[in-house]
Amino acid sequence: MASSQPESEFSFPSACRIRSGSDFDRVYAEKQRAGDDVLLIFGMPNQLGISRIGLSVSKKHGNAVQRNRRKRLLREAFRLSRKQIPLGFDFVLIPRVVETPTLKGYRSSLIRLTKKIARRQSAPIKKVD
Partner RNA sequence: GGAGUGAGUCGGGCGGUCGCUGGUGACUUCGGUUGCUGGAGGAAAGUCCGGGCUCCACAGGAGACGGUGGUGGGUAACGCCCACCGUUCGUGAGAAUAGGGAAAGUGCAGCAGAGAACAGACCGCCGAUGGCCCCGGCAUGAAAGUGUCGGGGCACAGGUAAGGGUGAAACGGUGCGGUAAGAGCGCACCAGCGGAAUGGGUGACCAUGCCGGCUUGGUAAACCCCACCGGGAGCAAGAUCAAGCAGAGAGAAGCGGCUUGCCGCACGGUUUUUCCGAACCGUCCGACUCUCGGGUCGAUCGCGUCGAGGGGACUGGCAACAGUCCUCCCAGAGAAAUGACCGUCCACGACAAAACCCGGCUUACAGACUCACUCCGUUU
Partner RNA sequence: AGCCCGGUGGUGUAACGGUAGCACAACGGAUUUUGAUUCCGUCAGUUUGGGUUCAAAUCCCGGCCGGGCUA
User: 43-82: which residues touch RNA (CB under 7 A)?
Assistant: 54-56, 63-65, 68-69, 71-73, 75-76, 79
Q: Greatest CA span in the chain, whole angstroms?
A: 42
Q: How many residues does the chain have?
A: 129
User: CB–CB of 87/127 below 8 Å?
Assistant: yes
Decide: is 6 part of the binding site for RNA (CB under 7 A). yes
Q: Report CA-CA distances (Å) from 9 to 12, 38, 57, 59, 85.
A: 9, 26, 26, 33, 12
- Closest CB 122 distance from RNA, rounded Å: 27
User: CB–CB of 40/112 below 8 Å?
Assistant: no
Decide: is 26 part of the binding site for RNA (CB under 7 A). no
- Closest CB 10 distance from RNA, rounded Å: 4
Of the candidate residues 14, 47, 100, 122, the single one contacting RNA (CB under 7 A): 14
Decide: is 103 part of the binding site for RNA (CB under 7 A). yes
- The two beta strands, 33-35 and 52-55, are unpaired
Query: Binding residues for RNA, how many (CB under 7 A)?
Result: 34
User: 106-125: which residues touch RNA (CB under 7 A)?
Assistant: none
Rounded to whole angstroms, the Cα distance separating 92 from 99 reads 21
Interacting residues toward RNA by CB under 7 A:
3, 5-14, 17-22, 24, 54-56, 63-65, 68-69, 71-73, 75-76, 79, 102-103
